[in-house]
Structure 1
């Protein structure tokens, strides 16, 4: 089925990383079966997908960032069902925006010879925000622990990935989270009117 193409349960070759390069020495990494829902206006399907998710004590944040971009990138149109294909970057009256929500603790990764999941996520965020994509990146840190990893200059991945400081949010409980999403919805609406 089409869903099998992007469901996330694929083996990924490790790309030559080994103990001599400072990365883990294993041949395959297996991802959990919890890929994204293709772009849809079906609110019930989205809610059902979220309700079916389970926590397992790990966050592969770089994969979440990647899926967010792949859902919006015209380069990935062949992966998605016809009704969910993303528009081109230069489509008139289209604002591409992604909301990345995490506890910020990227503690599950597939290291390569040169980068861990934190650095992979930063590279993806840089590419998403750059020309020609110009994706508006909102970030939501939900119950971010005080020990969360920092980038080399001390900022959290949430602050780094956001399009601007006003696009980075924190929430410590459900009510704050609702307020954050209302503010993001208003910001996206304002962007559409402005553009």
Structure 2
């Protein structure tokens, strides 16, 4: 109601009172007019303020929900603020000197303070005044959060570079690249693997790789996994003499060729993987079997996964395409018959979020079979995994500035710039793995977003 309309109504009331025939009416007019005018003015301003405060709260609520959508997708607080501000504007907020808009993620006050996947928005704006001489302000605070409840299964395979260059020191005295990677990988496990494994599971698999990938000497029924994937018996050699003699079982494998090279087809006739032992003449002797160097299929045991990571050692060259291929095989439902018990991968589709995390300097320099280089093979495998529905994250660790081939592979494998991370320091590597861990967890969380207190 405009001020002119209110004034006309008040004047009409006064005229009706003036039409009275006795002097008492005039006295009543004189006495009542200020009271009537004041009451109506107060009612109008109070009603308007109430409506504006409700609008302000709606602005804040809309902003927090928009902000949480960004945060849960791995976006920064800066990006969340811009999206939230835009939503507030769509609900009537105006940027001006007398207005304020703040966003914090995580929330800083209330019962959700400090919790991940929370956004707190506070909006303040002046209230309109029709008659009141006193300036008033409407303030609203809103907190929105995404419950940390899995809405689908989560499967993450970590492809960990254990080539010889990982023995080198980082910028921190006494901390090698391998140690930095181990700490970062364990931090990812702590975030991804949930305490509650029902009704949805959250599992991690590990693929250490250097010159080859070691599948170990474990059996499936009465047949070794090595036999299943190569159709060969594990080669055995003896090192040393007499009581000091040591038997080595060469259970490491290399790539396959032919039509199955860039697929997750089961290994069978014309699709078997190659045997690493046959390439020892190259002087390559890394990835000899040990409990520490073998692949680890999908597991819900943080202790088992961390023990495998703690036992890793670094040696050899970088056959990254082998790590990429086995990361896929460990997540592929086509390979379900090769993984037993709780290691069996779920089907592709909306019920499971599958992700591969590739850590490397991306200088892939070793391959064995076929005409495609390790770089080309890795790129093709990354493309094929994404086509199958697997999300690929890359962590480029100390990629040389002048190595355009490595830089290109790092970018191409993740494809989406929000899925690739660069790290040159220990703290950056840890931050990258933590961000990826949260991003993968967000991908499997229930899509519900709620307003908090």
Alignment TM class, shorter chain as reference: 0.7 to 0.9
Instruction: Report whether the alignment pairs 1:183 with 2:442.
Output: no
The runs of 5 or more residues in structure 2 that have no matched partner are 1-217, 230-249, 259-276, 281-285, 449-453
RMSD: 2.9
- For the 8 Å contact 2:394–2:410, the answer to whether it is kept is yes
Q: Secondary structure at the match of 1:86?
A: coil
Q: Deviations over 1:104-158 (max 9, x none)?
A: 111222141x21111111111111001xx2101001111223354617xxx5211
Shift of 1:71: 1.1
The reply on whether 1:121 has 2:378 as its aligned counterpart is yes
1:145 paired with 2:400, answer yes
Q: CA deviation at 1:77?
A: 1.1
Of the three residues 74, 88, 103, the one matched with 2:333 is 74
Q: With the length of structure 2 as denominator, give the TM-score of the two structures.
A: 0.36
Q: Indicate conservation of the 8 Å contact 1:14/1:29, yes or no.
A: no
Change (3 A) 1:118 1:86: same
User: CA offsets, 1:49-97, max 9 Å, x none?
Assistant: 122222114111001111111111111112212210100002x431111
- 1:187 offset after TM fit, Å? 1.5
1:15-94 aligned within 5 A: 28-29=278-279, 32=287, 33=289, 34-90=293-349, 92-94=350-352
Whole-angstrom distance in 1 between the partners of 2:396 and 2:332: 24
Does the CA contact (< 8 Å) of 1:106 and 1:118 recur in 2? yes
Cα pair 1:122 1:160 within 8 Å, conserved: yes
- Which runs of 5 or more residues in structure 1 are unaligned? 17-26
When residues 61 and 149 of structure 1 are mapped into structure 2, their CA distance, relative to the original with a 3 A threshold, is farther
Residue 422 of structure 2 corresponds to residue 170 of structure 1: yes
Aligned residues: 178
* SS of equivalent residue, structure 1 residue 177: helix
